[in-house]
Structure 1
Amino acid sequence: MTTANPLLDATVAPFGLPAFGAIDSAHFRPAFEAAMAENSAEIERIATDPRTPDFDNTIAALERSGRRLRDVGAVFWNLAATDSTPELQAVEREASGALARHETEILLNAALFARVDALFSRRESLALSPEQARVLELIHTRFLRAGARLDESARARMTAISERLANLTTTFAQNVLADEAAYVLLLEKSDLDGLSEDFRAAAAEVARERGAPGKYGVTLARSNLETFLQSSTRRDLREAAFRAFAGRGESGGDTDNRAVIAEILRLREERAKLLGFDNFAAYKLDDTMAKTPAAVRELLDRVWEPALAAAKAERDELQALAQRVGDNLDIAAWDWRFYAERLREEHYALDQTALRPYFSLDAMIAAAFHVAERLFGLRFVEVHGLELYHPSVRVFDVRDAGGAHVALFLGDYFARPSKRGGAWMSEFRGQERLDDDVRPIVVNVMNFAKAPEGETTLLSLDDARTLFHEFGHALHGMLSDVTYPSIAGTSVARDFVELPSQLYEHWLLEPQILREFARHAATGEPMPEDMLERIARSRHFNQGFASVEFCASAYVDLDLHERGAGRDFDAGVFERESLARISMPQEIVMRHRTPHFTHVFAGDGYSAGYYSYLWAETLDADAFEAFVETGDVFAPQVAAKLREHVYAAGGRQDPASAYLAFRGRMPSVEPLLRQRGFSASRDA
């Protein structure tokens, strides 16, 4: 290149951060091209190395290759998700296919695979460390699952499928983002009945940012929408907002995803069958803890029956409440959360509006940090003055008990139109120590409604759970302690990756944490003891609803990838038929409807794998009991084993072995059923 490109420059910002201030969207195309060319040259050298294959000149060399491409990609994909622009979206559409083709060509390189395969065939004689043996096994499996043993014609088809799928999943994600960004429900002051003062202030800020000062805006960010549906007394407005949320991706216009879904499903099925599997679900689950679609269905069925019974009982209670207060209506999807909150208040004297002042964003961040210090000896020191990709992002130097740098943690907490919906953890740099001790740079992304300048951002209890959940993922990345980058941090089986995050949620509601951090934002007074008790007693409230909306999405995901899509496939019809088979209540809508199911169609991560949250919950329910059994939820000896075998271990051993090393046994489903309130001791 004749001009400097900060993405390719060796100089970086403090802590190894990307030089965000110098990066422009125009830098990404040439950076990707240069990094892919460099990686291709690295692969060629490994594949044509005249020396006999050994671990260092083949496997370790593969681990070292592509570092610049990983760095460029980390910056790009994080920005494309959190601060997207039309220019970045154009690069995304172009780069996704090129990167998929590049990766597939590496995995289908016959000479390269021959070296890997030769090493794998004599792995018992190589005197490898356990970590090296695991890396070799995983890399060999990755080549096989990409089609390395296929004939030339089939390999060419696999390359074409991978490239096309990358383009389609990018289109899917951009369509959902476009629908979310385009929508705002503008309200007048007379429309605000039932909404808390902090919600009104945040809604006024949304409207101002959308060019409608003096009005109030409701967006499709889940946190914002859920609060509106729980609180607004205006049924017509609740219906309008809910229908917009549920209808993302099926507008009939340029952002309609239904044809995109059909093509994705056909290509995934074709890829699976080229590799000898009956369907894509069988292919995708083959290298997970579950192993088979039948095992996933068995788990879903164990939860579905009691969940459905509970949800029907909950519906009847809501209907009776509506009639009792004089509302002559049949409970609909946009009513459930509203009447559930009235019922929660009636049963437990818990009002979400009254709870929110005790869950300020700053206090919940501090609580998450405190738990990490108690469990793992970490300290979080906020760093100011660094140039980041958005002014609202906060950054923390993570240190161990001795003061040594462990990781850099970024918190991107607020919703904005340029950010895709949801919440997630990602990395700008992963941990490794193959040549140097590389410390990770981890980011948590949320979509909370920001309070006006100078006011305190308040969270719902569900928001606070989300924060703890994603911070559990962040710790999985920050505490990673392995040699090889391909097994670092969250590079584990999909149905194991949710264990560290879901387990971390447990500490939020521990009384000692709430007593210290759940303090009223205005007065600083701790949460009253009777409120703590009522929160504990309400832990199973509305669990039928929550379990049904989740399981429905998991069933539909599995059905889609077991049955595939014929030429006359209609996503809406398929969804309705799939839900009818499980007797889905009409008053509940699946948590992620098919046209905007980004977990499944905006990439390959959770395809045929949305069940993973439930699978991991069988582990996390049992794992937390390991602490409870000691009488100390911060028991040092249990925390040390948890860190060693789960949070720090990455993928250096298979998930079942990792869990057994921590717990000494595998769990049954019973702790999960108790956790959801579906055991014989279920609370009212």
Structure 2
Amino acid sequence: MKKAIPFLMLAVLVSACNNSKETKTENEEEMNTTENPLLAESTLPYYAPDFTKIKNEHFEPAMLAGIEQQRKAIDEIAGNPEEPTFENTVVALEKSGDLLSRSLQVFGALSSAHTNDELQAIDEAMAPKLAAQRDAIYLNENLFQRFKTLYNKRESLDLDPESKKLLENYYEDFKIAGANLSAEDKEKLKEFNSKLATLTTQFGKTLLAANNAGAVTFTNKEDLAGVSEDVLKSRANEDGKGWTIPLLNTTQQPLLVSMDNRASREKLFKAAWNRANEGDNDTREIVKELVALRAQKAKLLGFDTYAAWSLQKTMAKTPANVNKFFGGLIPAGTAKAQAESDEIQAMVKAQGGDFTLEPWDWNYYAEMVRKEKYDLDEEQIKPYFELKNVLENGVFYAATKLYGITFKERLDIPAYHEDVLIYELFEENGDQLGLFYADFFARPSKRGGAWMSNFVTQSKLYNRKPVIYNVCNYPKPSEGNPALLTYDEVETMFHEFGHALHGFFADQQYPSLSGTSVARDFVEFPSQFNENWALYPDVLKNYAVHYKTGERIPEELIEKIKNSGTFNQGYSITENLASSNLDMQWHTISSTQKIEDVIAFEKEALKKTKLDVVHAVPPRYSSTYFAHVFAGGYAAGYYSYLWTEMLHHDAYNWFENNGGMTRENGQRFRDMVLSRGNTQDLEKMYKTWRGGDPKIGPMLKARGLK
């Protein structure tokens, strides 16, 4: 499963702090923009950030100035003696905060993808201030009353559909944020929000330290038997004494599939599993405090649990619906995982092993089973998947075939790191579409996972085109060697660019409704759907060529990849369900329930939902390093990856039944789904495009669960 983790902690205000040419005020003109480039619009194409000028010390002053600028704008709107109108209230709020938005979007990118001690300190210092700024908007009684007045007479305002949606969206956000609370309760809520902002930032900072500190060093080459020489070169320590293996954010680690030494496998796995359970980087107390505060916040807002409050604007709507969805997957998923476990245990025995299969053994012996059943060796595949070729002749090629867009690399626009690639996108008729930044390689300054976000958000209100970036964590090859990808990493690249397409095809008037500004259990749909084109015959033959010989990948290898598509899917869906269930269990505790032991709670949560029945299948993320829900924007929302998986398989089924990859089908999907942003009811939008409700059958079939 590919993870696109939105940077929420500092981006939480962006929907209310949108880019705006028109909001350049006297305050901005008074600021010394030559000393701080964030205080003025960039002069680069598409208003892309100028990383040749931006320094760490620019962020906090710019954000503080942005907060002050927006507060003045809010005070003017709330205190306006004139009757509220759509323009003087809704559009005025939409236009507030240009400076803050600009600063947040750049800071959010760097503090996630290329951080340092100084940025982390700024992050921690600004988190409660930004939470207070959001409260200053959504808990402002006078401002809320103006929106309420407009909302109550919205049918008579003669608004176009998108403007009406904007009004409704803001009004719902006010209610969800606590606008109807008493003055006393609003003060309590502000305290909760400030503490929660600080805690989520601390979790992310502590986890990054835990990931870096948890890297495992081996000094004996025999301990790394089975690991390729290329990987050993890329992991060799500068002093020549041993090899250091960094940790990815997930429980399982890529090298476990090739490490012959069982003790080494156990050492690496346990380093990942226990990375945040002890010492200076222990996150357990943060987790306990976070979930307790979230439960108290939910109670204050009139809900039994945080999940019930959080799910209000999603497709699932309630925890009961999420659990019902889980119930339709758990029996089939765990049954297949058990069958896989039995098969792998048999392979252990066949290889002379006299031990019970453990999590650190699974990938190693599963690879043997895969080779035996499908004669598929990952090392045979990787030479055909050179990174830049996959990007340009695979990911981009598929987008051209479906949507007619084209790409040109830009070497004249500065990036924030030397590894970042930059491309300009064009419509089929040659019109400019936007800028794309691709940051693929892992480094200590980057948090784990893969994600997409914006430097600039599309908006017709300000004539802005999107500037979008994708971030991944592929191992960087040693100097002089090509970056060769596993097939899973190829899918990740297609996935993240699916998010990018959702942002590039945005066609909204208002930035807060633009592109990927949709519910969590819809936002992963376009990205997962885009994975389908990685193995599409016309696309595959265009990019899967041997990096040395230029020969296309043999048909027999393609068939092996396809035939192995349902392999290990019991494990995959069970580890995902385990993490999704943990998230929901953490966020359905009551405000009076006190958690004493994080690990014990996790074990019990998995036991009562029967997700612990297969011993060797741990959660994809354990609670102590579950960044999605404790540092990102997926609290009570991790289920959305599986929810949108149902949508994407159902959608691809429609394509298969209607001619496959054609420009006509691509344009229809773009026009009816990808370009719509958050301007329509998402369920209705999907059903209108699909011609009916989504079915779970294609998902179960794709995973080999039926």
Aligned position for 2:604: 577
2:115 pairs with 1:88:
no
Aligned position for 2:578: 552
Q: Assess if the C-alpha contact under 8 Å between 1:224 and 1:448 holds in 2.
A: no
Match of 2:169 among 138, 143, 149: 138
Measured against aligned partners, the alpha-carbon deviations of 1:604-625 in whole angstroms (never above 9, x if no partner) come to x211111001111111111011
2:241 pairs with 1:221:
no
Any idea what SS the aligned residue of 2:565 has?
A: coil
Q: Assess if the C-alpha contact under 8 Å between 1:407 and 1:440 holds in 2.
A: yes
Aligned position for 2:360: 334
Aligned position for 2:9: none
Q: Residues of 2 paired with 1:420 and 1:648: CA distance?
A: 30
1:169 counterpart letter in structure 2: T
Q: Residues of 1 paired with 2:90 and 2:188: CA distance?
A: 26
1:10 counterpart letter in structure 2: E
1:307 to partner: Cα distance: 0.7
Measured against aligned partners, the alpha-carbon deviations of 1:79-110 in whole angstroms (never above 9, x if no partner) come to 00111111111100000110011111110111
Any idea what SS the aligned residue of 2:52 has?
A: helix
2:676 counterpart letter in structure 1: A
2:416 pairs with 1:389:
yes
2:277 counterpart letter in structure 1: E
Match of 1:70 among 89, 101, 106: 101
Q: Assess if the C-alpha contact under 8 Å between 1:223 and 1:447 holds in 2.
A: no
Measured against aligned partners, the alpha-carbon deviations of 1:533-559 in whole angstroms (never above 9, x if no partner) come to 111111100000001000011111111
2:375 pairs with 1:349:
yes
Aligned position for 1:461: 487
Q: Assess if the C-alpha contact under 8 Å between 1:258 and 1:571 holds in 2.
A: yes
2:616 counterpart letter in structure 1: E
Q: Residues of 1 paired with 2:267 and 2:174: CA distance?
A: 48
Aligned position for 1:194: 226
Q: Assess if the C-alpha contact under 8 Å between 2:453 and 2:470 holds in 1.
A: yes
2:283 pairs with 1:257:
yes
Aligned position for 2:310: 284
RMSD: 1.5
2:467 pairs with 1:441:
yes
Q: Assess if the C-alpha contact under 8 Å between 2:196 and 2:293 holds in 1.
A: yes
Report the CA distance shift for 1:540/1:526 in structure 2 as closer, same or farther (over 3 A): same
Any idea what SS the aligned residue of 1:20 has?
A: coil
1:386 to partner: Cα distance: 2.1
Aligned position for 1:665: 692
Match of 2:51 among 20, 42, 50: 20
Q: Residues of 1 paired with 2:168 and 2:42: CA distance?
A: 35
1:633 to partner: Cα distance: 2.1
2:386 pairs with 1:360:
yes
1:287 to partner: Cα distance: 1.4
Q: Residues of 2 paired with 1:83 and 1:482: CA distance?
A: 30
1:192 to partner: Cα distance: 3.2
1:11 to partner: Cα distance: 4.1
2:626 pairs with 1:594:
no
Q: Residues of 1 paired with 2:644 and 2:696: CA distance?
A: 11
Q: Residues of 2 paired with 1:527 and 1:559: CA distance?
A: 45
Q: Assess if the C-alpha contact under 8 Å between 1:540 and 1:676 holds in 2.
A: yes
Q: Assess if the C-alpha contact under 8 Å between 2:304 and 2:590 holds in 1.
A: no
Q: Residues of 1 paired with 2:103 and 2:208: CA distance?
A: 23
The answer for unaligned runs of 5 or more in structure 2 is 1-30
Match of 1:268 among 272, 287, 294: 294
Any idea what SS the aligned residue of 1:220 has?
A: coil
Aligned position for 2:133: 102
1:147 to partner: Cα distance: 0.5
Larger deviation: 632-641 or 357-366?
632-641
Taking structure 1 as the reference length, the TM-score comes to 0.96
1:493 counterpart letter in structure 2: A
Q: Assess if the C-alpha contact under 8 Å between 2:308 and 2:319 holds in 1.
A: yes
Aligned position for 1:476: 502
Q: Assess if the C-alpha contact under 8 Å between 1:488 and 1:650 holds in 2.
A: yes
Q: Assess if the C-alpha contact under 8 Å between 2:422 and 2:435 holds in 1.
A: yes
Any idea what SS the aligned residue of 2:435 has?
A: strand
Q: Residues of 1 paired with 2:594 and 2:348: CA distance?
A: 45
Report the CA distance shift for 1:623/1:11 in structure 2 as closer, same or farther (over 3 A): closer
2:643 pairs with 1:611:
no
Aligned position for 1:653: 680
Highest relative contact order (Cα 8 Å, sep 6+), 1 or 2?
2
Aligned position for 2:197: 166
Any idea what SS the aligned residue of 2:268 has?
A: helix
Q: Assess if the C-alpha contact under 8 Å between 2:284 and 2:598 holds in 1.
A: yes
Q: Residues of 2 paired with 1:330 and 1:125: CA distance?
A: 70
1:202 to partner: Cα distance: 2.4
Aligned position for 2:144: 113
Q: Residues of 2 paired with 1:666 and 1:125: CA distance?
A: 32
1:195 to partner: Cα distance: 1.6
Q: Residues of 2 paired with 1:545 and 1:494: CA distance?
A: 24
Measured against aligned partners, the alpha-carbon deviations of 1:630-650 in whole angstroms (never above 9, x if no partner) come to 2x3213332122101221111
Q: Residues of 2 paired with 1:501 and 1:339: CA distance?
A: 31
Q: Residues of 2 paired with 1:531 and 1:582: CA distance?
A: 39
Q: Residues of 2 paired with 1:280 and 1:293: CA distance?
A: 10
| Pairs aligned (count) | 670
Measured against aligned partners, the alpha-carbon deviations of 1:397-422 in whole angstroms (never above 9, x if no partner) come to 01111221101000000000010011
Q: Assess if the C-alpha contact under 8 Å between 1:552 and 1:590 holds in 2.
A: yes
Measured against aligned partners, the alpha-carbon deviations of 1:348-406 in whole angstroms (never above 9, x if no partner) come to 00011111111111122120001111111111110003221111111000111122110
Q: Residues of 1 paired with 2:221 and 2:252: CA distance?
A: 18
Aligned position for 1:637: 664
Q: Residues of 1 paired with 2:262 and 2:197: CA distance?
A: 40
1:222 to partner: Cα distance: 5.4
Q: Assess if the C-alpha contact under 8 Å between 2:402 and 2:665 holds in 1.
A: no
1:73 to partner: Cα distance: 0.4
The answer for unaligned runs of 5 or more in structure 1 is 680-684
Q: Assess if the C-alpha contact under 8 Å between 2:63 and 2:99 holds in 1.
A: no
1:391 counterpart letter in structure 2: E
Match of 2:402 among 375, 379, 384: 375
**Identity rate, percent:** 40
Q: Assess if the C-alpha contact under 8 Å between 1:281 and 1:561 holds in 2.
A: yes
Aligned position for 1:682: none
1:201 to partner: Cα distance: 3.0
Measured against aligned partners, the alpha-carbon deviations of 1:530-585 in whole angstroms (never above 9, x if no partner) come to 11111111110000000100001111111111124733432111000011113312
Measured against aligned partners, the alpha-carbon deviations of 1:632-682 in whole angstroms (never above 9, x if no partner) come to 321333212210122111100011111022111111211211121111xxx
Q: Assess if the C-alpha contact under 8 Å between 1:599 and 1:606 holds in 2.
A: yes
Any idea what SS the aligned residue of 2:588 has?
A: helix
Match of 1:402 among 423, 429, 441: 429
Measured against aligned partners, the alpha-carbon deviations of 1:39-61 in whole angstroms (never above 9, x if no partner) come to 00111111111221111111111
Aligned position for 2:589: 563
Q: Assess if the C-alpha contact under 8 Å between 1:196 and 1:353 holds in 2.
A: no
Aligned position for 1:624: 652
Q: Residues of 2 paired with 1:223 and 1:104: CA distance?
A: 34
Q: Assess if the C-alpha contact under 8 Å between 2:111 and 2:120 holds in 1.
A: yes
Aligned position for 2:4: none
Any idea what SS the aligned residue of 1:317 has?
A: helix
Q: Residues of 2 paired with 1:524 and 1:225: CA distance?
A: 33
Q: Assess if the C-alpha contact under 8 Å between 2:46 and 2:466 holds in 1.
A: no
- 1:417-428 aligned at under 5 Å gives the runs 417-428=444-455
Q: Assess if the C-alpha contact under 8 Å between 1:543 and 1:677 holds in 2.
A: yes
2:530 pairs with 1:504:
yes
1:522 to partner: Cα distance: 1.9
